[in-house]
Chain A
Amino acid sequence: MSTGQHEVDRLAAFAEGELGSVDTAAVSAHLAVCAECRQALADVRRGIAFASELEAESMPAALAGDLRTQLVSPASAGWRWPAAAAALLIITIGAGSYWQMHRPWAEMTEAAAAPTPFEAEGRALHRALLEGAPLDYRPADDADAWSWLGRQRGPTAGLLPSHSPDERARFVPVGAAVRHVGPARASVVSYRVDGRPVTLVLANTRDVPDAPAAGLWSKRVTHRRDPAGANVLTWTIGGGTYVMVSELDGYGQRACFVCHTDPKFQQTIQSLSPR
């Protein structure tokens, strides 16, 4: 029997028990005599298994607090909606759409406050590695480094899998380690970019006293040039706090390889400068 498009269209419902008894019996009868549809059903079941791994996410607490205040603030007590709310809606959506199209996804500021203990420790780690301090693991590549760190129960950052061969040639991993930085268990990745040393230290934000605030709408990066001339970038995003110390030119932003391997991100990164 040839594959009936009608049956193929019903395979997800069949696999998920969403068909009635009559339709279920009809699809079952067709599957019994159609190898092509049995293969299609196997594919659909695999797809369902993957989709079932998707996870819902709660709204971040900072965003929820901000929106709740905006929407339910005492300032709005005297509103007589829907007229006033509709006016606000139009204004906000218009302004929001414009801003959405033009906002920067990352912003860099020059550090004004003294270094936090976490930043200071990151800089000290970088110096120690430059002077030959040992690392715990010599990775084959960046993915191998993060995989090893994960097995050591160190925090690991997600990489977007878009390294081009040219980028892989530029970013050469040297080693990885897990170190206690203050109360935090931190992952340390040492690598070279264009031949120059870079140290990236990552810890869970909840374990980092005085961690820099995450930007609500844009990634907020702070730059500082340390007394030894290295560029130090710090940021918090996705529940992690990062310190990246590099011997690169400019502000050291070209050293970041955690997620910025997509050309459209690189272009923005390379044009970043402290405000």
Chain B
Amino acid sequence: MRPGGGAGVDVPEELLAACRAGSRDAFGELFDRCKDRVYSTALHVCGDRAAAADIAQEVFLKVFARLPQFESRSAFTTWLYRVTVNAAIDHRRASRPAVPLEDVMPEPGTPDVDPYVRLQRRRRIEAALVALPDTLRVPVVLRHVQGLSYQEIASVLQVSIGTVASRLSRAHARLASELRDLAPEGS
């Protein structure tokens, strides 16, 4: 699953207004719209499913408490990503063993694709991502998992676009080096 381009959390102004007014139904809808973005960002930044669950809980409690401070939709979505990224980095620094993943690949997409090989390939790429320092890993997650633009990433991380570009260049070069024995898909 890959989200569409842009900051992408589709949060209408009216929904935020209803949340600010204390509507439980509105907050439930906000949760439904944002939960996958929050969970997936946390998962890829910290590399741990159990921690991603904890982070998602922490993020939504923060959102619940601080939503009245956000007047505009753009400020909210940027802040949502920022809170998620910061919480994920904090959890990662706690450095405890993750619950080992035992993903099951039920069916191959096509008969000639070995699902085990595909899973191993994904694991290699995820491991290379997790091995990057926070400053390089987070822009990759926001760009390639969440589909944010350079400008949007710069807003989330509160850095310049030039810094985002520089970090992504270094991150991609590191990934290419780490995965040099792996051919890019389709090559």
Interface, chain A (partner B; CB < 8 A): 8-13, 18, 40, 43-60, 63-64, 67-68, 70-72, 74, 76-77, 79-82, 85-86, 88-89, 92-93, 96-97, 100-101, 105-106, 143, 146-147, 149-151, 153, 155-161, 202, 204-205, 216-219, 237-240, 242, 258-260, 262, 264-265, 268
Contact = CB atoms under 8 A, between A and B. Distances in A.
Interface string B80-108: 00000000000100101111111111111
Contact of B102 (A10, A60, A158): A158
* Chain B interface, >50% SS class: helix
Given A71-B61, A240-B102, A10 B56 contact: no
B165 A10 contact: yes
A218 B50 contact: yes
23 contacts: A12-B165, A50-B184, A51-B172, A53-B122, A55-B145, A58-B39, A59-B35, A72-B27, A74-B24, A82-B67, A86-B65, A89-B64, A100-B54, A100-B94, A105-B99, A150-B115, A153-B108, A155-B104, A158-B105, A160-B123, A238-B104, A239-B104, A264-B97
Contact of B40 (A57, A159, A219, A237): A57
B3 interface: yes
A67 B177 CA distance: 39
A52 to B, nearest CB: 6
Contact of B104 (A54, A79, A202, A219): A202
Q: Which 7 A-B residue pairings sit nearest by Cβ, starting from the closest?
A: A47-B172, A240-B104, A150-B116, A59-B39, A9-B166, A259-B100, A47-B175
Nearest to A96: B54
A100 B51 contact: yes
Interface of B: 1-3, 22, 24-25, 27-28, 31-32, 35-40, 43-44, 50-51, 53-54, 56-58, 60-62, 64-68, 91, 94, 96-108, 114-117, 119-126, 128-129, 140-141, 143-146, 149-150, 162, 165-166, 168-177, 179, 182, 184-185
Given A51-B144, A54-B126, A258 B102 contact: yes
A17 to B, nearest CB: 10
Contacts of A158: 101-103, 105, 119-120, 123
B150 A13 contact: yes
Contacts, number: 251
Contacts of B106: 155, 204, 239
A143 B116 CA distance: 9
A159 to B, nearest CB: 7
Contacts of A147: 114, 116-117
Nearest to A74: B24
